[in-house]
Structure 1
Amino acid sequence: MEGLLRQHEWRIIDQSAVGVHFQALQSFGTDDTLCASVGAGKAPATARTWVHHNTIVLGIQDTRLPFLQEGIQFLTSEGYQPIVRNSGGLAVVLDEGVLNISLIFPEVEKGIDINRGYDAMWQLVQQMFADFPQPIEAREIVGSYCPGSYDLSIDGKKFAGISQRRLKRGVAVQIYLCVNGSGQRRAEVVREFYQLAKKEEQTKFVYPEVVPEVMASLSELLGVELTIADVMLRLLKQLKANSEYLYAGQLNEFEHDLFPGYYQRVMERNEKIAEMADQIS
């Protein structure tokens, strides 16, 4: 576990302040590009940070909901842009109070065990907030949106979820951190989405029964008003402590050439959702 976070060098690509026009689809295309590049040895281990405004990221299973059109209609009426991601998991909320961090590792030696990737991210978040007395747990929080065995929580309330994407000998471990704002309000949006998109229909796949009270932001849980910039500083300090060399970078030439292809795949996966949203607007 220690070995994965510890890298000779970390490149940081910070897209946390790009603004409202930076689309989440570009983010998923970028992470796939970085997986392929880092996996091919064309770039060092990379941490990428990103913030997207009023976006609901759906999982593949969410697109199979029986009344998806009604769910999409509700999300767009609330001012959210729905998109479908390529990594595992279910619906999550992204807005200006949610910081996303992707850690992209090369899959060297015998490969990276899936839990080892999750543990590295959990360890990083624990280190980032080690000055607070509250312990950060990793276990499934029942009633949260996009529940999983590595939900990060304080006092039983979830503030972060982790997913993984593996591609071309690269591994992207992705986390969304609810930094500020109301975790409960975000969960209410997702609960309403599922109520409208599933109704009482029996489905093969078990969708979460969202209980908004089990979700919160770090600011709410720690009793301190944190900003995205505060959390970025904490992240940079830990990446520096876990490497000999930390530097800010952008996509290199190899990655610039790869990006259009991966972005196109993400766009194609989202055609159906985009059509639904267009019909509504």
Structure 2
Amino acid sequence: MNNIHTLLHPKTYRFIDQSSLGPGFSALQSFATDDALAISVGQGTSPTTARLWVHHHTVVLGIPDARLPFISEAVDYLKTQGYQVIVRNSGGLAVVLDEGVLNLSFIFPDSKEVNIHEGYEAMVVFIKHLFADLTDEIEAYEITQSYCPGTYDLSINGRKFAGISQRRVKQGSAVQIYLDVTGSGMERALLLKNFYQIGRQDEETRFSYPYIDPSVMASMNELLGTQLSVADVRDRILYQLRTLSERVVVQQLEGEEIDSFNKRFEQMIERNAKALERME
């Protein structure tokens, strides 16, 4: 553990587990929660925080996705496949969330002093340590034919199982990763391949949307030949947090954080209503 990133070594970790709240837990609530936590962590009223979250049958779009020429038809397709659709407030493009995808947010302080790449690099290092007993082949580089491609895609032998985004609010930063733990990475990728084909069709676009090859995406179980569950990975994360800090405290939102959450949640609802209205 001597070479692990300094951001991952706070004296205290706050741990919030929202991975088993069920289908009624909206992704809009998740992004509002991270915003509220970024404010309190940035102000120093909360320690560095790790939050786990799972959402059922949800496609989270990036802002550029909403500008697809035939976005209305593309969103209708996702809905016919049983997915709800939201637009997130952090960077990136469309991702698929379901009960086999575990999301982890690290909320770090001092975003003004810490280079944005350090947040990404800290997450990469954490995930490599998290699964070090299973593989030493996790790499971070852009998988161009995946969905939501980015510099910090995580893959094994060229097949992506995770992607990272980051959102900075006030003095705090939320570094968010999705981990495809169970299920079929190819099926998730095929869903978004069809989404982009319907949304783009033959129109030329200013923005360069991905041309997805489903074969470049997989779940961790597919890549490692394991039978990991989301709960197994949750336990691994909690164990790592305990080894990296002097203590771990379990604490839900409270006080001013709840006010911040309510404000951010209302903003996200309004923003999504406007964005989805434009897609109709």
What TM-score does the superposition give when structure 1 sets the normalisation length? 0.96
Q: In 1, Cα distance between the equivalents of 2:55 and 2:278? A: 21
Q: Which residue is 1:116 aligned to?
A: 118
Q: Which residue of 1 aligns with 2:196?
A: 194
2:231 corresponds to 1:229: yes
* Identity of matched residues, %: 55
Tell me how large the CA RMSD over aligned residues is.
Answer: 1.3
Matches within 5 A, 1:201-216: 201-216=203-218
Pairing of 1:133-212 with structure 2 (within 5 A): 133-212=135-214
1:34 corresponds, among 32, 37, 49, to 37
Give the CA deviation at 1:276.
Answer: 7.0
Where structure 1 has 5 or more consecutive residues not aligned to the other structure, the ranges are none
Structure 1 counterpart SS, 2:162? strand
Does 1:87 find its partner at 2:90? yes
Letter in 2 for 1:123: V
Q: What are the Cα deviations for residues 55-76 of structure 1, in whole angstroms up to 9, with x where unaligned?
A: 0000000011110000000000
Alpha-carbon separation, structure 2, partners of 1:200 and 1:274: 23
Equivalent position of 2:134 in the other structure: 132
1:252 matches 2:254: yes
* Cα shift at 1:133: 3.1
Aligned position for 1:264: 266
Q: Distance in 2 between matches of 1:161 and 1:93?
A: 11
SS in 2 for 1:246: strand
Superposed structure 1 runs of 4+ greater than 2 Å apart: 272-277
Check 1:276–1:205 CA distance in 2 against 1; reply closer, same or farther (3 A cut).
closer
Give, in angstroms, the shift of residue 43 of structure 1.
0.8
2:11, 2:246 → 1: CA distance? 5
Provide the rounded CA distance (Å) in 2 between the counterparts of 1:133 and 1:201. 42
Distance 1:105 1:242 in 2: 14
Q: Which aligned pairs between 1:55-74 and structure 2 lie closer than 5 A?
A: 55-74=58-77
Deviates more, 1:263-272 or 1:142-151: 263-272
Deviation at 1:274, TM superposition (A): 4.4
| Secondary structure, counterpart of 1:69 in structure 2 | helix
| Kept after mapping to 2: 8 A contact 1:134/1:154 | no
Amino acid at match of 1:260: N
Structure 2 CA distance, aligned partners of 1:103 and 1:142?
Answer: 25
The count of residues paired between Structure 1 and Structure 2 equals: 277
**How many Å separate the matches in 1 of 2:258 and 2:271?**
21
